[in-house]
């Protein structure tokens, strides 16, 4: 088995913080796109002399946001599926109820996710369209009723193509450069998939930036009043993000970020749908739940009225929900109050609290030191959410920001920075989770801690754990726990053909390079053999909401135990290398030292320590093994070996 250990010699840490260049000149227009779960928006910089001139581009229906919905008319091209008529935005939304199976909405929830992901499985049971497994990469794809299979990136690209076209018509020029926003908690795979969607739409995506950061950019641009610590609470259609930023004279530094990539308005709608079905069944006991849920069209109509009721209740205390022909000739009529909505969705709202608290801890800031709280995302119009946020921060959120438009405006500003239209603005974003590799005994060796500013590049030297090893398997993990088995494997890199040397001797330089889009590149090089390998990490799936919450929670709960296991592993790793060095020296100088009186005793003791190390390796979790004792015995042996060498040299000279 190939083993991989941290090198037992002074470490070389090359850590650099490369700042964005603000002077790069891209002469053409760069549009900023908020590719949302429910709604998307696009913006541009109207006047390059005015930083505050970021402007929303209205779509062909005169709307400032476009529903993130793509529909296929399966009847339009029965012979050739590829040429089916496609509807985008409002046009797709209008026909949703009569073509539910072929109307794809909220597909951002699936982007870059594995089919087997728990969240995807849950969505499958509630979405009216078909989600299938892509045989090639195991990811969640979408299928029309006539079997046209598309990735969520492809669906995203149809939306982006539409927004590109709308922008070109509005601006009267060709547009092919864009900045696209993603939830801060999107992992590498989800970011890559978003970039792919841009590429498929014919857009050169200059940068992928985090939604809350974009919101802060549009809030704080060129306004000294807005200097200070800002919290951006972003609850949209499908994701929740919290970011803490420090804004100081044009420098936007993200101090910490946290969130949940599977929590948003869609979940609120689903809770209401279930409540309505329960109420309807109670009134009509002859109808079963399944009879209603299996009808995709009915489910879609229920979802639409649920969303409408939710939005109404942000403005009125009570609303009436009516839906004719819910089941055969039965109609639905009921009322719902704001209080009822608050109660049934409280557990969802509460799920935003731990990420906020964690972000504050990570940023090392008390809630009362936050100068401004900005609300982003349509869901933050719900009064209960506003009051929970107010209680969390002890202050009323800022009301000057438009929660639907601010992200696209911020993306346009970043586009302006990249095109050179906007000067003296610097954006420093961070990694959401710790990145590292597996080392000896399954320990997680972090290279880049979470909330490190990107872009970042870091190199550390590692070595082999077995004599004569000619290859290492570098497993890249993401997470907060001390042992890799509790973190998420996001990539795998094999370095082969290295010169066989005793363990601990080869120097393997492992470099992590995270670019400004948050995309990770890992490379490994072994100096003596000149071998090099690199990969762009494309993880298999995103982290689910439970996984994220669990990761942080478990990391906190198990920190002491994890540290202990790690320390034990490191002690044994060092002892192992020391003992084999001594053994090798004994073999090499056997003639010189074998006549010494101490020699057989030390050889026996080396054997005993080696056996103890072997026993430990077969049961690393056995806490009854005295690791400190093994290390002490190794140190003592090294001392005794040194004395033996000194005495043998003396005897030889005499
Ligand atoms: N007045 C309102 N009250 C409550 N909810 C609302 C209101 N207006 C919009 N919403 C909800 O906000 C959500 C859409 O928000 P938004 O358009 O900001 O999301 P998005 O950008 O598409 O999503 P994400 O940021 O998660 O990708 C929908 O679930 C919608 O029902």
Residue closest via CA to ligand 1's atom 21 equals 36
Say which of 29, 34, 269, 526 is annotated catalytic: 34
pLDDT score recorded for residue 296: 80
Residue closest via CA to ligand 1's atom 17 equals 39
183 contact partners, CB below 8 Å, separation of at least 6? 190, 210, 211, 234, 239, 241, 259, 261
Quick: pLDDT tens for 267-291: 999 999 999 999 999 999 999 999 9
Quote the percentage of the chain above a pLDDT of 70: 90
Regarding the beta carbon of 542 and ligand 1, being less than 6 Å apart is answered no
* pLDDT confidence band for 559 (50 / 70 / 90): low
- At which residue do the structure tokens 């990490």 appear? 537
317-331, 361-375, 378-392: range with lowest mean pLDDT: 317-331
- For this structure, is 211 an active site residue? yes
The 3-class secondary structure across 517-580, one letter per residue, is CCCEEEEEEECCCCEEEEEECCCCCCCCHHHHHHHHHHHHHHHHHHHHHHHHHHHHHHHHHHHH
650 contact partners, CB below 8 Å, separation of at least 6? none
Backbone φ and ψ of 514, nearest 5°: -110, 125
- Mean pLDDT computed over 255-268: 91
CA 349 to centroid of ligand 1, rounded, Å: 14
pLDDT score recorded for residue 556: 60
Asked if residue 602 has pLDDT above 60, the reply is: yes
Quick: pLDDT tens for 203-243: 999 999 999 999 998 988 766 667 889 999 999 998 899 99
Both tokens of residue 653? Answer: 């000279």
**Antiparallel, parallel or unpaired: β 103-105 and 69-73:** antiparallel
Between 528 and 647, the higher pLDDT residue:
647
Regarding the beta carbon of 156 and ligand 1, being less than 6 Å apart is answered no
| Residue 484 near residue 490 (C-beta atoms within 8 A) | no
Quote the percentage of the chain above a pLDDT of 90: 40
308 membership: H or E segment, kind and range: helix 296-312
Asked if residue 549 has pLDDT above 60, the reply is: no
pLDDT score recorded for residue 466: 80
- At which residue do the structure tokens 């509460």 appear? 350
Say which of 234, 266, 307, 562 is annotated catalytic: 234
ipTM of the complex: 0.98
Both tokens of residue 84? Answer: 């089916």
- For this structure, is 108 an active site residue? yes
**Antiparallel, parallel or unpaired: β 488-496 and 251-260:** unpaired
| Residue 179 near residue 163 (C-beta atoms within 8 A) | no
**Antiparallel, parallel or unpaired: β 531-536 and 140-143:** unpaired
Say which of 123, 188, 211, 570 is annotated catalytic: 211
640 membership: H or E segment, kind and range: helix 627-653
Q: CA 3 to CA 295: how far, in whole Å?
A: 54
Quick: pLDDT tens for 500-526: 888 888 888 999 988 887 788 888 888
Q: Which atom of ligand 1 is nearest to the CA of 404?
A: 18
* pLDDT confidence band for 156 (50 / 70 / 90): very high
Between 86 and 592, the higher pLDDT residue:
86
Asked if residue 330 has pLDDT above 80, the reply is: yes
CA 654 to chain centre: 69
- Mean pLDDT computed over 611-623: 80
| Residue 642 near residue 589 (C-beta atoms within 8 A) | no
15-19, 271-275, 434-438: range with lowest mean pLDDT: 15-19
Quick: pLDDT tens for 94-112: 888 889 899 999 999 998 8
């Amino acid at each position: 088995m190939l083993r991989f250990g941290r090198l037992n010699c002074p470490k070389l840490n090359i850590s650099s913080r490369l700042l964005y260049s603000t002077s790069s000149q891209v002469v053409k227009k760069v549009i900023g796109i908020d590719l949302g779960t429910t709604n998307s928006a696009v913006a541009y910089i109207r006047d390059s002399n005015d930083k505050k001139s970021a402007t929303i581009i209205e779509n062909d229906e005169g709307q400032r946001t476009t529903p993130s919905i793509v529909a296929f008319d399966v009847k339009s091209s029965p012979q050739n599926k590829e040429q089916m008529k496609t509807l985008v935005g409002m046009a797709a939304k209008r026909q949703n109820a009569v073509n539910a199976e072929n109307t794809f909405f909220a597909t951002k929830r699936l982007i870059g996710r594995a089919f087997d992901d728990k969240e995807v499985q849950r969505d499958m049971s509630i979405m009216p369209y078909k989600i299938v497994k892509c045989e090639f990469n195991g990811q969640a794809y979408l299928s029309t009723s006539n079997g046209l299979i598309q990735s969520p990136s492809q669906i995203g690209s149809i939306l982006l193509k539409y927004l590109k076209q709308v922008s070109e018509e509005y601006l009267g020029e060709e547009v092919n450069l864009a900045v696209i926003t993603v939830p801060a908690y999107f992992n590498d795979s989800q970011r890559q998939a978003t970039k792919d969607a841009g590429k498929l739409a014919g857009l050169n995506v200059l940068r992928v930036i985090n939604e809350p950061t974009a919101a802060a950019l549009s809030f704080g641009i060129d306004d000294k009043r807005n200097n200070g610590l800002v919290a951006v609470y972003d609850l949209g259609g499908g994701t929740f993000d919290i970011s803490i930023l420090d804004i100081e004279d044009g420098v936007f530094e993200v101090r910490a970020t946290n969130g949940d990539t599977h929590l948003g308005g869609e979940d609120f709608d689903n809770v209401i749908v279930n409540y309505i079905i329960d109420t309807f069944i109670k009134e009509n006991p002859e109808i079963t739940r399944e009879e209603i849920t299996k009808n995709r069209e009915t489910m879609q109509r229920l979802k639409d009225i649920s969303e409408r009721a939710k939005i109404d209740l942000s403005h009125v205390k009570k609303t009436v929900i009516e839906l004719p022909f819910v089941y055969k000739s039965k109609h639905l009529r009921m009322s719902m109050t704001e209080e009822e909505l608050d109660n049934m969705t409280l557990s969802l709202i509460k799920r935003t609290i731990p990420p906020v608290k964690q972000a504050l801890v990570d940023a090392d800031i008390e809630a009362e030191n936050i100068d401004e709280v900005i609300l982003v995302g349509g869901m933050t119009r719900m009064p209960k959410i506003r009051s929970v946020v107010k209680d969390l921060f002890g202050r009323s959120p800022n009301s000057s920001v438009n929660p639907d438009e601010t992200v696209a405006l911020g993306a346009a500003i970043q586009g302006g920075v990249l095109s050179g239209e906007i000067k003296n603005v610097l954006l420093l974003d961070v990694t959401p989770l710790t990145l590292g590799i597996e080392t000896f005994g399954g320990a997680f060796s972090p290279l880049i801690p979470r909330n490190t500013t990107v872009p970042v590049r870091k190199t550390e030297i590692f070595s082999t754990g077995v004599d004569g090893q000619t290859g290492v398997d570098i497993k890249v993990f993401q997470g907060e726990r001390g042992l890799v088995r509790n973190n998420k494997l996001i990539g795998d890199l094999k370095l082969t053909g290295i010169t066989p040397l005793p363990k601990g001797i080869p120097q393997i330089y492992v470099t992590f390079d995270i670019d400004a889009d948050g995309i990770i590149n890992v490379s490994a090089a072994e100096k003596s053999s000149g071998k090099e390998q690199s990969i762009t990490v494309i993880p298999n799936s995103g982290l689910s909401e439970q996984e994220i919450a669990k990761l942080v929670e478990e990391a906190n709960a198990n920190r002491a135990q994890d540290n202990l296991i790690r320390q034990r592993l490191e002690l044994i790793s060092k002892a192992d290398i020391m003992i084999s060095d001594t053994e090798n020296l004994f073999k090499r100088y056997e003639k010189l030292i074998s006549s010494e009186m101490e020699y057989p005793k030390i050889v026996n003791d080396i054997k005993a320590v080696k056996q103890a190390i072997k026993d430990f390796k077969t049961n690393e979790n056995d806490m009854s093994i005295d690791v400190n004792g093994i290390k002490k015995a190794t140190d003592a042996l090294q001392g005794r070996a040194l004395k033996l060498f000194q005495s043998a040299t003396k005897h030889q000279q005499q």
